[in-house]
Amino acid sequence: MADQHREPDVRLELFSQSRFLSGARALVGNIAQRLGFSEIECGQISLAVDEALCNIIKHGYQQRSDGRIWISIWANHDEPSEIKVVIDDQAEQVDLEAIKSRDLADIRPGGLGVHIMREIMDEVLFEKREKQGMRLTMRKQVQPADRSAQVGRAGNVTSLKRESESENG
């Protein structure tokens, strides 16, 4: 996706407060749906963004409610469609080598956010921002099989079903 030189399609700024997470999830999920991701994938992409935001609030801002988080989204409709989400913060910078999932054999609550992000998204890149804070870039492309199951551009599921029924006689 050649988005290095274009502005994001959507920008959202929020405080580091968990009460805003549902709105961010809904926004990302709706954009993903318009790009042709399946309903399950839309939920997964929203989950990856939610995990990232939770980590920023919990670990970056240490639960402070006055931290700023910026979410930028690029929605590429070219084939294959792709969503790119960049999350910036001004929280404490962390060693990039320290950003990893815990051992999956260690069964306990928490600590799987990075693992979840990497399993869901095609690309996950953590970077230190120039002066302070971190930047997380995540990308995911619509796979060709997902395109055939797309509902968003056709209107609804029944219209897709009726078209295929009429083709089959």
Which tens digits make up the pLDDT trace of 61-117?
999 999 999 999 999 988 889 999 999 999 988 876 766 666 656 655 556 778 899
Classify residue 91: in a domain, yes or no: yes
Coil/strand/helix, residue 123: strand
Smallest CA-to-CA distance from 32 within 146, 112, 157, 124 is with: 146
Give just the sign of the alpha carbon dihedral 15, 57, 128, 26: negative
- Residue 145: count other Cβ atoms within 10 Å of its Cβ: 8
pLDDT above 70 coverage of the chain, percent: 73
Does 25 fall in a domain?
Answer: yes
CATH at 86: 3.30.565.10
Residue 47 belongs to some domain of the structure: yes
Domain membership flag for residue 82: yes
In a domain, 1, yes or no: no
In a domain, 4, yes or no: no
- What is the SS3 assignment for 10? strand
111 within domain boundaries:
yes
Write down the mean pLDDT value for the chain: 82
Domain count along the chain: 1
| Cα 115-118-120 angle, rounded to 5 deg | 105
Tokens of 160: 């897709």
Q: Which domain, by its residues, includes 34?
A: 10-167
**One-letter amino acid for residue 129 of the chain:** R
pLDDT at 104: 58
Question: Which of 139, 60, 65, 47 has the alpha carbon at shortest distance from 99?
Answer: 60
In the prediction, which pLDDT does 114 show?
A: 86
35 inside domain: yes
